[in-house]
């Protein structure tokens, strides 16, 4: 009996989470039945989906509010809901990873819990999976209500990512359906610092795409990602997919060497011609320029070294709270 797992990362969403989980499950439930009955009529050899099972894994990413309690309450009234609770905030990527590790479904759907990934697309995704697609991507056609700065920021990231990593992720989101074979292959990657949507796109499995417009956040309000956190996320993702910045460091070195050679030659000629002048400003400028170039180069190398260090340490990406252990 096939099973579909829904993975929902949750961080400080106590006001809306109960309603969101109900909405997601209701959409998956009723929609899947309709979707598959229709398909059953077209292809009698495919049995209807009524017997299919659903599980919803809500991953509480160390929320500081009552999200976990809300999920526990929802799970008490619907045994298809399971709660995984982190000991602290490890980030959405870690929540997705933990959800995938604990999922049992033949297909797995990852979606946000703020209903910005419209649950009513789930039946369509499942239908495409049943038609044989291993991956179904929900692609943002409209990014919805967000500030101009956020839009520019996202565009700059995707343009840079495409240039440096060679992957066009414009419009891509974490809202995806993955077949079990894809989940198992993904989980077998030894890499720890993961960029879910980047890695799935990079894997290049046959994928169907469905477009969606991002609705407003359930309960209003804005994204939980601060600018600094987004910047760190962007740098990590770019450097995990491209070593181009390291190559740029060598180019920068060559460029500085070239400029230094020219200026050095000019100075020597001037000195031998007796035209040497007090070049205090030039010296200061050169010092600042070269110092800046060396420090940025070291920064870039340091970043890769830190990533290497993290991968070598192989520390788990998250720690899950033991079940049935209430806080003393």
Please tell me the count of residues contacting ligand UDP according to CB under 6 A: 16
Q: Does 92 interact with ligand UDP (rule: CB under 6 A)? A: yes
11 binds ligand UDP (CB under 6 A): yes
Could you say whether residue 85 binds ligand UDP (CB under 6 A)?
no
20 binds Mg ion (CB under 5 A): no
How far is the C-alpha of 49 from the C-alpha of 22, rounded, in Å? Answer: 20
What the block records as the tokens of 278 is 């007090």
Residue closer to Mg ion (CB basis): 67 or 116: 116
Is 10 among the residues that bind ligand UDP (CB under 6 A)? yes
173: Cβ–Cβ under 8 A, 6 or more apart, which residues? 117, 137, 138, 139, 140, 197
Q: Which is closer to ligand UDP, CB of 69 or CB of 106?
A: 69
**What CA–CA distance (Å, rounded) separates 319 from 171?**
31
Taking CB under 6 A as the binding criterion, the range among 37-45, 49-57, 111-119, 133-141 that sits at the site for ligand UDP is 111-119
Q: Are 248 and 164 in contact (CB under 8 A)?
A: no
* Contact characters 188-227, ligand UDP, x per CB under 6 A: -----------------------------------xxx--
Q: Binding to ligand UDP by residue 95, rule CB under 6 A?
A: yes
Q: How far is the CB of 244 from ligand UDP (least distance, A)?
A: 26
Residue 16 near Mg ion by CB under 5 A: no
What, of Mg ion, ligand UDP, none, does residue 52 touch, CB below 5 to 8 Å by kind?
A: none
DSSP letters along 247-258, please? HHHHHHHHHHHH
The answer to whether 233 and 174 have CB atoms below 8 angstroms apart is no
Q: Which residues have C-beta within 8 Å of that of residue 88, sequence separation ≥ 6?
A: 62, 319
Do 113 and 10 meet the contact criterion of CB atoms below 8 Å apart?
Answer: yes
Catalogue the long-range contacts made by 243-250 (C-beta closer than 8 Å, 24 or more residues apart): 243/304, 244/164, 245/164, 245/300, 245/303, 245/304, 246/300, 246/301, 246/304, 248/300, 249/297, 249/300, 249/301
Which positions from 100 through 139 interact with Mg ion, judged by CB under 5 A?
Answer: 114, 116
236 binds ligand UDP (CB under 6 A): no
Please tell me the distance from the alpha carbon of residue 308 to that of residue 312, in angstroms, as a whole number. 6
Kindly state the smallest distance separating residue 227's Cβ from ligand UDP, in Å.
Answer: 12
Residues 35-74 as x/- pattern, contact with ligand UDP by CB under 6 A: --------------------------x-------------
Place of tokens 């600042």: 288
Q: How far is the CB of 84 from Mg ion (least distance, A)?
A: 20
Query: Least distance in Å: CB of 109 to ligand UDP?
Result: 13
Main-chain dihedrals φ then ψ at residue 9, nearest 5 degrees = -75, 140
Positions in the binding site for Mg ion (CB under 5 A): 114, 116
Positions in the binding site for ligand UDP (CB under 6 A): 9-11, 13, 61, 89, 91-92, 95, 112-114, 116, 223-225
């Amino acid at each position: 009996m096939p099973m579909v797992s829904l993975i929902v990362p949750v961080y400080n969403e106590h006001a809306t989470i109960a309603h969101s989980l109900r909405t997601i499950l209701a959409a998956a439930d009723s929609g899947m039945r309709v979707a598959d009955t229709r398909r059953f009529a077209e292809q009698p050899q495919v049995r209807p989906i009524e017997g299919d099972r659903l599980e919803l894994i809500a991953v509480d990413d160390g929320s500081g509010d009552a999200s976990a309690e809300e999920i526990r309450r929802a799970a008490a009234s619907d045994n298809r809901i399971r709660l995984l609770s982190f000991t602290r905030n490890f980030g959405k990527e870690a929540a997705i990873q933990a959800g995938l590790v604990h999922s049992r479904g033949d297909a797995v759907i990852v979606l946000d819990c703020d209903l910005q990934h419209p649950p009513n697309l789930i039946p369509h995704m499942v239908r495409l999976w049943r038609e044989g697609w291993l991956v179904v991507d929900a692609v943002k056609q409209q990014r919805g209500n967000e500030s101009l700065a956020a839009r520019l920021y996202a565009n700059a990231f995707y343009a840079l990512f495409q240039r440096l990593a060679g992957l066009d992720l414009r419009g891509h989101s974490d809202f995806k359906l993955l077949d079990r074979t894809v989940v198992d292959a993904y989980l077998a990657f030894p890499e720890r610092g993961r960029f879910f949507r980047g890695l799935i796109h990079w894997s290049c499995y046959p994928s169907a795409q469905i477009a969606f417009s991002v609705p407003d956040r359930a309960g209003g309000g804005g994204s939980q990602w601060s600018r600094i956190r987004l910047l760190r996320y962007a740098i990590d993702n770019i450097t995990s997919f491209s070593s181009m910045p390291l190559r740029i460091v060598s180019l920068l070195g060559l460029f500085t060497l070239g400029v230094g050679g020219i200026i050095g030659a000019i100075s020597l000629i001037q000195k031998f011609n007796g035209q040497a002048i007090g070049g205090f400003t030039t010296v200061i400028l050169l010092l600042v320029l070269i110092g800046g170039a060396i420090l940025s180069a070291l920064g870039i190398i340091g970043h890769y070294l830190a990533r290497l260090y993290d991968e070598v340490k192989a520390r788990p990406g998250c720690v899950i709270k033991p079940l049935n252990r209430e806080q003393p």
